[in-house]
């Protein structure tokens, strides 16, 4: 019995020691990178010395011999540095970073297994020898006043990092994979890391010369080690005792209030007072808990200097990292959530943003590039920016790349603004890097950043100026657990819509709905100002029973936007906006994919929280690659060659009483003006018939007349019944140039009347859903004549052929 409790105490002590040492090593890492930039700072050296010294001291007491030995050799090296017997050089820093990795690996091993891995004991000797060598050579070179930088050989480095990462078989797979990968090829290292870091080192060897290979590989390992560290969420949290006391007080008050309420009878007079008290205590408690969960973003930032340093070396860039607003606080869970996107953005900044030193000199910039991480509060959210002073993003290249990958058509590209073009970077599978490097450029990039940030209710913005740099701005809410939401009703159930996805609310009475909602194939759309908004009926999507009797009341459209999907969600009714507490759903319900959680509403009813992006995806709303040009339909493929969103002059005409579906209204048709040669009013007697087909002699040519609206028989009938002296009716014929298999041919189209010639926008449409393409002209939908849709007007060259 006694034995057991003793053992437990040791474990707790060890755990505490590990947490403390890890924190010490983190500080050390930060100091080391800083020391490299400011080698004369004595304060930094002492700080590093302290970290290693503490580990050494405690570890002897706990009986971890291996750790002590390593720490001791590090300490003696640092001691020499502190006593100014050594000079700070990049080799020394490299050595110390390896020491740090070694210490960290042993600590992680102890944390995982409780043992420090006796079997790997002998492996430390290389590292210890290397440190010793560094010390001796450093001291010698200082004496002989030689530059220590040139003299170093790479040999010891080759083996040292491997030792640092070698672990016993019991260690987690992540680390074991590194060590095994080291022996074969660089590719193996990349396997265990998730999407963002995948391929970290995969092509290190391709992009570098043979001579540099070894250096590259060791650095690659170091960088991977850092990112695995970055990806590992910190399971513990440091809380201010003050905050904890405050929490305890508030819980005490909550208990007292509860006691009073429990004693209440239905006619207790001060019930309202009690309810008010409960309200305020709850609010205070919530505030305190949130405060306790808040962590300075500096915690996250502190991991980057090392990463930037290692990346800089791998990519051949000179980069300095600066921070601003480290003390800005953010909820712990959100901090974890932005970890990956931020890592990615920083990596991008170093690899794509900052130019190689030679180019920077040519551009008249300082040789050393600067990556700035800045955090600040802005209107209820925290903004984290990654700013680099690199080359910036060239919109031409973005567009070129986008066209190459078929993400945008040349015609659409020609009219895009710079901002719109930059948005393309967020489309999946996009990368502008000229060569795929080992760090980034695989096209798994900004789309991941965006979706990760949007998952926690944030937004990503991108600003860039060619020549002067790029800013990636992430906006994240302060907290996740409690979000403002709008509660809506549909099919007799309540659903919560996160406010941050909600842009607008529209009420349509039943009468308005009849005219305002237009049908395109099976998709119903609503014209909201300049745009077509695909509508999703929530009750239909979720197979809910439609509430009977609701029909006459009209409905609400909640305009939602998330992950680039914009649509109108049709719901029966709106309820009050509420601050809801998000509760996770069980995994098998999460699998449905439409709900992101559930919440208990003020009236005690459980409501499901709608995942706005997933709902849109389920209903087939396509994400909008480019803002502003955003008419989409259920078509997942980009429309073949129809230039979506292009302004085009269109002839608008009416065919006959044959609209889409059963509507008696005449459908508005459109045809590109470029395809129409003339609009003729042809007396009926000029129209001749051959083999049942209407023909017209026109400029010495015989034109086939297309009469889809069956207007000619109607007109003939009208002429026959009219008085003989009345003016003969004439048919309106559009003389068009029709592209066909044998070149362009003229043809005539009989129309009821020509309505207008005006500029319109061609819209993307699913060809499976309706025959023609659609165009938006003067805020009304028109169907483009099917013969002329796919080309969106005739190519100029074919036009000339005819002319």
Partner 1 sequence: MKDAQIAVAEEKNTISICSLRVGDALFGIDTRQIREALGKTTPQQVPLAPKYIAGVVPYRGDVLTTVSLRVLLGLEPLAETGCILVLDDKEDNQHFGVLVDGVGKVLTMDLNALEENPRRLDPRSMELFDGAFRMDFGLMVRLNPQRLRPSRLAASGIFATRKQ
Query: Can residue 718 be called a binding residue for partner 1 (CB under 8 A)?
Result: no
CA–CA distance, 186 with 200 (Å, rounded to integer): 9
Judged by CB, which is closer to partner 1: 228, or 596?
Answer: 596
Residues with Cβ within 8 Å of 76's Cβ and at least 6 positions away in sequence, in order, are 131, 135
Judged by CB, which is closer to partner 1: 245, or 282?
Answer: 282
CB atoms within 10 A of CB 198: 13
Using alpha carbons, select from 727, 707, 709 the residue that is nearest to residue 718.
Answer: 727
Judged by CB, which is closer to partner 1: 490, or 632?
Answer: 490
Tell me which stretch binds partner 1 (CB under 8 A): 32-40, 147-155, 260-268, 593-601: 593-601
Among 235, 587, 692, 727, binds partner 1 (CB under 8 A): 587
CB atoms within 10 A of CB 176: 17
Residues with Cβ within 8 Å of 461's Cβ and at least 6 positions away in sequence, in order, are 472, 473, 475
Ramachandran category for residue 580: left, alpha or beta (phi over 0 → left; psi -120 to 50 → alpha): beta
Judged by CB, which is closer to partner 1: 306, or 489?
Answer: 489
CB-CB contact of 422 with 395 (8 Å) = yes
Q: What backbone torsions phi and psi does residue 501 show, to the nearest 5 degrees?
A: -95, -10
Query: Can residue 537 be called a binding residue for partner 1 (CB under 8 A)?
Result: no
Smallest gap from residue 587 Cβ to partner 1 (A)? 6
Smallest gap from residue 495 Cβ to partner 1 (A)? 9
Judged by CB, which is closer to partner 1: 5, or 586?
Answer: 586
Tell me which stretch binds partner 1 (CB under 8 A): 6-14, 27-35, 267-275, 585-593: 585-593
Smallest gap from residue 586 Cβ to partner 1 (A)? 4
Smallest gap from residue 491 Cβ to partner 1 (A)? 8
Among 606, 717, 726, 802, binds partner 1 (CB under 8 A): 606
Give buried/exposed letters for 277-305 (b at 16+ CB in 10 A, else e).
Answer: bbeebeebbbebbebbbbbbbbbbbbbbb
Query: Can residue 594 be called a binding residue for partner 1 (CB under 8 A)?
Result: yes
Among 190, 201, 557, 607, binds partner 1 (CB under 8 A): 607
Judged by CB, which is closer to partner 1: 223, or 608?
Answer: 608
Query: Can residue 585 be called a binding residue for partner 1 (CB under 8 A)?
Result: yes
CB-CB contact of 571 with 489 (8 Å) = yes
Give buried/exposed letters for 759-790 (b at 16+ CB in 10 A, else e).
Answer: ebbbbbbbbeebebbbbbbeeebbbbbebbbe
Among 154, 251, 367, 592, binds partner 1 (CB under 8 A): 592
Among 393, 598, 774, 777, binds partner 1 (CB under 8 A): 598
CB-CB contact of 600 with 581 (8 Å) = yes
Among 57, 65, 114, 584, binds partner 1 (CB under 8 A): 584
Residues with Cβ within 8 Å of 683's Cβ and at least 6 positions away in sequence, in order, are 728, 730
Judged by CB, which is closer to partner 1: 604, or 692?
Answer: 604
Query: Can residue 588 be called a binding residue for partner 1 (CB under 8 A)?
Result: yes
Among 605, 702, 722, 802, binds partner 1 (CB under 8 A): 605
Smallest gap from residue 618 Cβ to partner 1 (A)? 9
Query: Can residue 583 be called a binding residue for partner 1 (CB under 8 A)?
Result: yes
Query: Can residue 235 be called a binding residue for partner 1 (CB under 8 A)?
Result: no
Judged by CB, which is closer to partner 1: 440, or 599?
Answer: 599
Query: Can residue 675 be called a binding residue for partner 1 (CB under 8 A)?
Result: no
Tell me which stretch binds partner 1 (CB under 8 A): 48-56, 70-78, 228-236, 605-613: 605-613
Among 275, 363, 600, 759, binds partner 1 (CB under 8 A): 600
CA–CA distance, 213 with 205 (Å, rounded to integer): 6
Smallest gap from residue 283 Cβ to partner 1 (A)? 17
Tell me which stretch binds partner 1 (CB under 8 A): 274-282, 361-369, 606-614, 627-635: 606-614
Q: What is the per-residue binding string for partner 1 in 440-479, x denoting contact by CB under 8 A?
A: ----------------------------------------
Using alpha carbons, select from 92, 88, 68 the residue that is nearest to residue 157.
Answer: 92
Among 24, 117, 521, 597, binds partner 1 (CB under 8 A): 597
Longest Cα–Cα distance in the chain: 123
CA–CA distance, 250 with 244 (Å, rounded to integer): 10
Smallest gap from residue 22 Cβ to partner 1 (A)? 27
Ramachandran category for residue 582: left, alpha or beta (phi over 0 → left; psi -120 to 50 → alpha): beta
Q: Give the gyration radius of the chain's Cα atoms.
A: 35
Could you tell me the sign of the dihedral formed by the alpha carbons of 354, 356, 361, 362, in that order?
Answer: negative
**Adjacent-strand bridge partners of 294:** 331
CA–CA distance, 339 with 342 (Å, rounded to integer): 5
Smallest gap from residue 549 Cβ to partner 1 (A)? 20
Among 164, 337, 608, 784, binds partner 1 (CB under 8 A): 608
Cα of first residue to Cα of last residue in the chain, in angstroms, is 103
Smallest gap from residue 195 Cβ to partner 1 (A)? 25
Give buried/exposed letters for 49-69 (b at 16+ CB in 10 A, else e).
Answer: bebbbebbebbeebebebbbb
Query: Can residue 595 be called a binding residue for partner 1 (CB under 8 A)?
Result: yes
Judged by CB, which is closer to partner 1: 600, or 722?
Answer: 600
CB-CB contact of 67 with 99 (8 Å) = no
**Tokens 């070698």, located at residue:** 166
Per-residue CA distances from 339 to 27, 228, 347, 360, 471 (Å): 18, 12, 12, 29, 17
CA atoms within 13 Å, Cβ hemisphere of 581: 10
Smallest gap from residue 113 Cβ to partner 1 (A)? 23
Tell me which stretch binds partner 1 (CB under 8 A): 40-48, 155-163, 200-208, 602-610: 602-610
CA–CA distance, 803 with 678 (Å, rounded to integer): 13
Smallest gap from residue 247 Cβ to partner 1 (A)? 17
> According to CB under 8 A, which residues from 488 to 517 bind partner 1?
491, 493
Judged by CB, which is closer to partner 1: 261, or 544?
Answer: 544
Smallest gap from residue 393 Cβ to partner 1 (A)? 41
Smallest gap from residue 23 Cβ to partner 1 (A)? 30
> According to CB under 8 A, which residues from 540 to 569 bind partner 1?
542-544
Among 379, 586, 721, 797, binds partner 1 (CB under 8 A): 586
Smallest gap from residue 558 Cβ to partner 1 (A)? 17
Smallest gap from residue 427 Cβ to partner 1 (A)? 29
Smallest gap from residue 711 Cβ to partner 1 (A)? 46
Could you tell me the sign of the dihedral formed by the alpha carbons of 668, 772, 421, 617, in that order?
Answer: positive
Positions touching partner 1 (CB under 8 A) are: 491, 493, 542-544, 583-589, 591-592, 594-595, 597-598, 600, 604-608
């Amino acid at each position: 019995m006694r034995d057991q409790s003793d053992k437990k105490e040791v474990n707790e002590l060890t755990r505490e020691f590990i947490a403390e040492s890890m924190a010490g090593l983190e500080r050390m890492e930060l100091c080391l990178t800083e020391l490299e930039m400011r080698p004369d700072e004595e304060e930094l050296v002492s700080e590093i010395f302290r970290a290693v010294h503490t580990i050494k001291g405690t570890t002897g007491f706990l009986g971890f011999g291996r750790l002590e030995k390593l720490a001791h050799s590090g300490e003696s090296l640092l001691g020499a540095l502190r006593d100014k017997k050594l000079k700070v050089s990049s080799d020394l820093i490299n050595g110390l970073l390896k020491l740090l990795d070694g210490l960290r690996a042993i600590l992680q091993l102890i944390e995982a297994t409780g043992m420090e891995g006796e079997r790997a004991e002998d492996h430390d000797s290389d590292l210890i020898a290397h440190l010793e060598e560094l010390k001796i050579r450093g001291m010698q070179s200082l004496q002989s006043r030689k530059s220590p930088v040139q003299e170093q050989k790479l040999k010891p480095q080759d083996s040292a990092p491997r030792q640092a990462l070698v672990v016993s078989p019991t260690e987690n797979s992540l680390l074991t994979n590194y060590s095994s990968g080291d022996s074969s090829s660089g590719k193996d290292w990349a396997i265990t890391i998730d999407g963002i870091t995948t391929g970290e080192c995969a092509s290190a060897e391709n992009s570098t010369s043979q001579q540099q290979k070894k250096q590259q590989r060791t650095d690659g390992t170091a960088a991977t080690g850092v990112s695995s560290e970055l990806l590992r969420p910190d399971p513990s949290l440091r809380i201010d005792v003050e905050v904890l006391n405050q929490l305890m007080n508030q819980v005490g008050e909550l208990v007292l209030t509860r006691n009073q309420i429990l004693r209440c009878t239905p006619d207790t007079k001060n019930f309202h007072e009690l309810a008010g008290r409960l309200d305020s205590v709850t609010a205070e408690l919530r505030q305190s808990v949130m405060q306790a969960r808040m962590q300075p973003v500096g915690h996250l930032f502190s991991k980057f200097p090392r990463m930037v340093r290692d990346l800089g070396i791998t990519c051949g860039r000179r980069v300095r990292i600066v921070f601003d607003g480290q003390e800005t606080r953010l909820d712990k869970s959100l901090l974890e959530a932005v970890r990956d996107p931020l890592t990615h953005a920083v990596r991008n900044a170093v690899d794509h943003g900052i130019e190689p030193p030679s180019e920077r000199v040519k551009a008249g910039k300082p040789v050393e590039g600067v990556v700035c991480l800045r955090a600040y509060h802005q209107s209820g959210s925290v903004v984290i920016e990654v700013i680099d002073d690199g080359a910036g993003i060239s919109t031409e290249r973005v567009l070129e790349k986008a066209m190459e990958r078929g993400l945008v058509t040349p015609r659409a590209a020609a009219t895009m603004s710079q901002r719109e073009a930059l948005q393309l970077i967020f489309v999946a599978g996009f990368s502008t890097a000229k060569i795929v490097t080992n760090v980034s450029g695989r096209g798994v990039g900004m789309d991941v950043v965006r979706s990760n940030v949007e998952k926690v209710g944030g937004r990503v913005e991108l600003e860039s100026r060619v020549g002067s740099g790029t800013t990636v701005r992430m906006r994240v809410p302060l907290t996740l657990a409690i979000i403002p939401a709008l509660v809506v009703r549909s099919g007799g159930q309540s659903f919560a819509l996160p406010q941050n996805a909600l842009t607008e609310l529209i009420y349509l009475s039943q009468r308005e709905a009849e005219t305002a909602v237009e049908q395109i194939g099976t998709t119903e759309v609503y014209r909201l100002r300049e745009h077509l908004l695909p509508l999703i009926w929530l009750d239909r999507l979720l197979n809910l029973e439609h509430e009977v009797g609701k029909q006459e009341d009209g409905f609400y459209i909640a305009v939602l936007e998330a992950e680039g999907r914009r649509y109108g969600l049709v719901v029966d009714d709106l309820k009050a906006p509420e601050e809801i507490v998000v509760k996770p759903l069980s995994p098998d319900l999460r699998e449905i994919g439409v709900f992101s959680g559930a919440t208990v509403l003020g009236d005690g009813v459980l409501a499901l929280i709608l995942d706005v992006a997933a709902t849109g995806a389920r209903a087939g709303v396509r994400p909008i690659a480019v803002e502003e040009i955003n008419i989409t339909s259920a078509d997942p493929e980009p429309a073949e060659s129809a230039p979506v969103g292009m302004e085009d002059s269109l002839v608008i005409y009416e065919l006959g009483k044959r609209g889409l579906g059963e509507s008696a209204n005449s459908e508005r048709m459109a045809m590109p003006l470029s395809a129409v040669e003339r609009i003729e009013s042809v007396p009926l007697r000029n129209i001749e018939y051959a083999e049942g087909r209407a023909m017209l002699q026109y400029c010495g040519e015989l034109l086939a007349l297309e009469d889809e609206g069956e207007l000619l028989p109607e007109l003939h009938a009208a002429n026959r019944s009219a008085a003989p002296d009345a003016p003969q009716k004439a048919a309106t014929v559009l003389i068009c140039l029709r592209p066909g298999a044998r070149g362009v041919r003229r043809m005539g189209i009989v129309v009821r009347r020509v309505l207008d010639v005006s500029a319109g926008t061609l819209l993307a449409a699913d060809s499976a859903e309706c025959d023609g393409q659609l165009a938006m002209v003067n805020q009304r939908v028109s169907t483009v004549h099917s013969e002329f849709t796919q080309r969106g007007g005739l190519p100029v060259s074919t036009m000339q052929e005819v002319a």
